[in-house]
Amino acid sequence: MVKVPVEVKDVLSNQKILPVATASSEGVPNVIFVGLWKFIDDERLLLVDNFFKKTRKNLEENPIVAIVGFDGEMPNFRSYQVKGRAEITTSGDHFDEASEMSRSKELQAKAAVIVHIEEIYNAAPGPDAGAQIA
Ligand SMILES: Cc1cc2nc3c(=O)[nH]c(=O)nc-3n(C[C@H](O)[C@H](O)[C@H](O)COP(=O)(O)O)c2cc1C
For residue 113 and ligand 1, the question of a CB distance below 6 A is answered with no
* b (16+ CB within 10 A) / e for 2-32: bebeeebbebbeebeebebbbbeeeeeeeee
**Cα–Cα distance between 15 and 88 in angstroms, integer?**
24
For residue 117 and ligand 1, the question of a CB distance below 6 A is answered with no
For residue 105 and ligand 1, the question of a CB distance below 6 A is answered with no
Burial (CB count within 10 angstroms: exposed 0-12, middle 13-18, buried 19+), residue 49: buried
Q: How far is the CA of 34 from the centre of ligand 1 (A)?
A: 5
Is the pLDDT at 6 greater than 90? The verdict is yes
Is the pLDDT at 72 greater than 90? The verdict is no
Q: How far is the CA of 132 from the centre of ligand 1 (A)?
A: 28
The SS3 call for residue 82 is strand
Is the pLDDT at 112 greater than 90? The verdict is yes
- The dihedrals phi and psi of 16, each to the nearest 5 degrees, come to 70, -55
How many other C-beta atoms can be found within 10 angstroms of the C-beta atom of residue 47? 26
For residue 29 and ligand 1, the question of a CB distance below 6 A is answered with no
Domain residues of the chain, as ranges?
A: 6-122
Q: 24-38 pLDDT, tens per residue?
A: 999 999 999 999 999
Homologous superfamily, domain 6-122: Electron Transport, Fmn-binding Protein; Chain A (2.30.110.10)
For residue 33 and ligand 1, the question of a CB distance below 6 A is answered with yes
How many other C-beta atoms can be found within 10 angstroms of the C-beta atom of residue 107? 15
